[in-house]
Structure 1
C-alpha cells in the first residue's frame, strides 16, 4: 500500500546513531531520550509497515499491546524532552544561576529522567481510563492505540502535550531575552558557567527545541481538531470499557478518504521529527570533527594505514579516545 514506509522508517532509525556518541558522552538526558523514543517509534513503524502492509490480520497481539502504549507515551515524551532542554538553556543564560535546584547536574538529570520517561509511563497508565478497547489495526499502518474520543480523553491525551509545547516556547523566549540583554558578553558568560556550551551549541539547542515545538504544536492542534469532530459523551466506566478485549480492524477499502489522509499525514510526523533532530545534531562542526577523527582512528588502527606526515606508531590520543567511546 505504501512501499516507502519501511525504508523511510529504518533509515530514520539508523540516522539517529549519528548524534548518539556525542550526546552519550555529554550525558544529556533530554537529547538521549529524544534519540531513544524516536528510534523505537521508527523501528515500530517499520515493523508494522512490513506486517500489515496489505492486511489487518491479528498475528502478534502482544506486540500491539506494547507498541500502542509506546505510541501514547511518545506523545508526552518528546515535548517533555524539549521542555527540559528549554529549561536548561534558560537557566544557563540566566544571570541568577542559583535560583533553582536544576543548577545541580545530578538533580537536573533526575528531573529530566522523570519528565522524559516517568511522565510518559504515567500517561500510558492514564490512557486506560479512556481506552475503549484493546487496540486497533489499520491496513498499511499496523497497530494503533484505541481511545474513546471524549472530553476526558482530550484533557488526558491531547491537551497535556500541547501545554508542554507552549511552556517550552515560553522558556525559549526567556532564553532569547537573556541573550539580547547581555549579547556583548554572552560567549564569556557561557564559558564561565562551565556547562560545556558554546554560543553555537547554545543556539543550536534552542533552535532545535523551538522548531520541534512549533512542529509539535501544529501536529497536536491538527490531531485535536480532527478527533474533535467525533467527540462522544462520557456516560460511565462500564459503557466506555464494554467489550474491552475486542480488536477493531480497519481495512483500507472500507475507510473514508479523510481518515486515510489523516493517518498518512500523522504517520510522517515521526520520521520528519527524526530528520529535523538529526539535521541539528549530526552535521555540526563538532560532529564532523568527530567523524573525521573516527575515520582516522579506523584508518590507523583497523586498516593499519598511516598518513605520510604521521609516524606508524604515533596515533593521536584524542582520536583514540573519541572513537573508543563509540
Structure 2
C-alpha cells in the first residue's frame, strides 16, 4: 500500500505551472513538451493510485487503453525533448550560425514539434507490434502497458530512449565546451545571435538536460536488467503467436510479487515525479520566475482583491507620491550642481534686480517657475511697477530642460497677454540651499 503516491503525483503535476510562463512566452517547444508530457504522466499516476489502491479490479478499460499508450509516448518524449534542447544549445553556442532569423526559429519549432510529439506517437503505434495483450493492472499502481519481451521489443521500447539520451549527453558536452571557450564573452555572443537565452538560462537548460538524461539512462538500464532477470527473452515467431488472446488483462497483486520486483516498480514509479521536481527546481526559483511571481501577485492584488496599487509601483514613496504623480524631486537633479553658488556676475545681477523690484514683488505673485531657455533669459532694463498687470504668468512650452550639470540660476521673464515684458522674478536670497530649492521647483 502506497498512500503517498496520489498526493506526490498531484503536487509534482501542478508544480510544473511555476515554470510555465517564461517557456510559454519564449515559444520553446522542447521545454513546453517536457512540461506537457510530465504533467500528463503525473496525472495518470495520481488517478491510477487512487482507483487501484489495494485493488486489481478490472475497471476503466477505456481509460487504461488510452493511458498505457500515453505512458509509452512519455518514455520517448522526455529523451527526445532533451535531445532538442541540447541540440539548440550547441548550435547557439557554436560559431557555425552567424545570425538566427525568424525563418530559422520557425524551422526549429517545427522540428522540435515533430521530435517531441510526432516521434512519440510513432513509437506509440509501433508498440502494438510487441504488445502481447491489452494491458496489465498492478496493485497500487494501476494499468500499465504490456510488452512481449523479445529482441524486437528491446529495440522498439528500450533502445531508442537510450540512443537519444546518449546523443543528448554528447551534445551537452559539446555545448559545455563552447561555453568554457567563450565564457568571458558568452553573453555578448548570445546577444549577437539574437537569442532569447541568457547565460543563466543557458546553464540551467544545459544542467537540466544532463541531469534528466543521466537519470533516464540509469532507470532504463535498470528496467531492462530487472526485466531480463525476471522474464526470459521470448522468440518472436509470428504475429498470431505474439498477439494470441490479445484482449486479456493480466492482474498482479502485491501479495504474490517478489520483493525485488516490488522495489523495481517503486523505482520506476518515482522516475516521473523525480524528473518533474528536478525540472521545476531548475526553472521555478530563478530571476525570471521571481519576476513572474511578482506580476501574478500584483494582478491578484489589483484585479481580484481590488486593492490600490502600492506607491512603490510607480517609483515614488510617501504621501507626496499620490498628490503629485508628475512632480520632480530633488533627487532627480545633480546635488553638487544645485548646491554650487552662482558666479559673481550672476549674483550681482540678481542683487540689482531685487533692489529695483522689491517694491512691486508682492503684486506679481509667487506662482512662477524657472527655466533656462536662451530666449527667456532677462535683460536688466529699468522698469516701473506700473508696467505689470495682474495676468496669469506662463512659461513657453518649447523650453527644454538642460542636463543637470548645466543648470544655473537664471530666472525667466514672463509675458502678459498683450506681449509686454514683465519684471523677472528673482529669489530673494543668494544662499546655496535656496538655489537648490528654486532649481527643484
> How high is the TM-score relative to the length of structure 1?
0.92
Residues 1:56 and 1:276: Cα distance change in structure 2 (over 3 Å): same
2:100 touches 2:193 (CA, 8 Å); kept in 1?
no
Q: Provide the C-alpha distance between the structure 1 equivalents of 2:44 and 2:219, rounded to a whole number of angstroms.
A: 20
Alignment of 1:183-222 (within 5 A): 183-222=183-222
Alignment of 1:102-117 (within 5 A): 104-117=104-117
Residues 1:69 and 1:201: Cα distance change in structure 2 (over 3 Å): same
* Residue in structure 1 matched with residue 73 of structure 2 by the alignment: 73
* Residue in structure 2 matched with residue 320 of structure 1 by the alignment: none
* Residue in structure 2 matched with residue 168 of structure 1 by the alignment: 168
* Residue in structure 1 matched with residue 252 of structure 2 by the alignment: 250
Q: Per-residue CA shift, 1:213-256, capped at 9, x if unaligned?
A: 11111111111111222222222211111100111011111111
Q: Provide the C-alpha distance between the structure 1 equivalents of 2:322 and 2:27, rounded to a whole number of angstroms.
A: 34
Gaps spanning 5+ residues in structure 2: where?
A: 315-320, 325-441
Q: Which has the higher contact order (CA 8 A, sep 6+)?
A: 1
* Residue in structure 2 matched with residue 324 of structure 1 by the alignment: none
Gaps spanning 5+ residues in structure 1: where?
A: 315-326
Alignment of 1:1-326 (within 5 A): 1-97=1-97, 104-229=104-229, 230=231, 231-303=233-305, 304-309=307-312, 310=314
Size of the aligned set, in residue pairs, is 315
Superposed displacement of residue 100, structure 1: 10
Q: Provide the C-alpha distance between the structure 1 equivalents of 2:243 and 2:273, rounded to a whole number of angstroms.
A: 33
Deviates more, 1:224-233 or 1:278-287: 224-233
> How high is the TM-score relative to the length of structure 2?
0.69
Give the helix-richer structure, 1 or 2.
Answer: 1
- What's the Cα RMSD here? 2.1
SS in 1 for 2:18: coil
Higher-Rg structure is 2
Superposed displacement of residue 301, structure 1: 3.0
Deviates more, 1:99-108 or 1:210-219: 99-108
Q: Per-residue CA shift, 1:135-168, capped at 9, x if unaligned?
A: 0000000000010011111101001000000000
